[in-house]
Chains A and B, each alone.
Chain A
Amino acid sequence: EDKVVQSPLSLVVHEGDTVTLNCSYEVTNFRSLLWYKQEKKAPTFLFMLTSSGIEKKSGRLSSILDKKELFSILNITATQTGDSAVYLCAEGSQGGSEKLVFGKGTKLTVNP
């Protein structure tokens, strides 16, 4: 059984739309919840949420962590074609962000 579950697995929107990506996780040994964006190569870091920081915002992107319901969401407002990527959610179970367990990712396609 997957520990980190992302939904939807894929999403196609038009430029300007707002999207919400979902990630549920298990509570065992929870330390952190991270979001990464992956285009062609390396995953690039977006946000890290912990018990002491449950909301993050950077420009058009924002994320929240619901510790009670064990999920996180990533919001992207006013989407652009450059937002097209796979968005990965990962749970860290050691130290700060070590021993990451990833979900399968959400493939976002933003059409002009």
Chain B
Amino acid sequence: NAGVTQTPKFQVLKTGQSMTLQCAQDMNHEYMSWYRQDPGMGLRLIHYSVGAGITDQGEVPNGYNVSRSTTEDFPLRLLSAAPSQTSVYFCASSPGGYSNQPQHFGDGTRLSIL
């Protein structure tokens, strides 16, 4: 049981480049979300999805796109990377609905934008 798997673990980009951070879960969870963690800021919600085909914005969505075509996958796209997007990105999932089950996190992707 792999849980929540994020790839890549590390990435360095140049300003203006685009890339996709991958997130996959094998627990048949309906709810998936993306957070970024910056020093002294805690984790902040970027986007989330309550099921396949349904996504919504979190607290800091600007500069990021998401889609949810399957239950298992929830990729995060940076369309034109900026140095302010240098951060550690975490994906999380939970059964969703009113299951009262906690979110479980992947190991994160450390992203540096030069």
Chain B: which residue is nearest A42 at the CB level? B105
- Nearest residue in B to A50 (C-beta to C-beta)? B100
With CB as the reference atom, state the residue of chain A lying closest to B90: A42
B53 interface hit (Cβ, 8 Å)? no
A41-B108, A42-B107, A43-B90 known; A102-B44 Cβ under 8 A: yes
Q: Is the CB of B42 within 8 A of A97?
A: no
How large, as a class, is the contact surface on chain B?
20 to 34
CB-based contact B106/A97 at 8 Å: no
Q: Nearest B residue to A44 by beta-carbon distance?
A: B105
Does B58 sit within 8 A of A, measured CB to CB? yes
B27 at the interface (CB under 8 A from A): no
Interface of A is mostly: strand
B2 touches A (CB below 8 Å)? no
CA A30 to CA B47, docked complex, whole Å: 19
Instruction: Decide if A99 touches B104 in the complex (CB within 8 Å).
Output: no
Are the CB atoms of A97 and B105 closer together than 8 Å? no
Instruction: State whether A96 touches B42 (Cβ < 8 A).
Output: no
Partner among B40, B58, B99, B105 whose Cβ is within 8 Å of the Cβ of A96: B99
Sample (9) of A-B pairs whose CB atoms are under 8 Å apart: A34-B102, A45-B104, A95-B98, A96-B101, A98-B33, A98-B48, A100-B45, A101-B59, A104-B40
Point out residues on B near A: beta carbons under 8 Å.
Answer: 4, 31, 33, 35, 40-45, 48, 50, 58-59, 90, 94-108
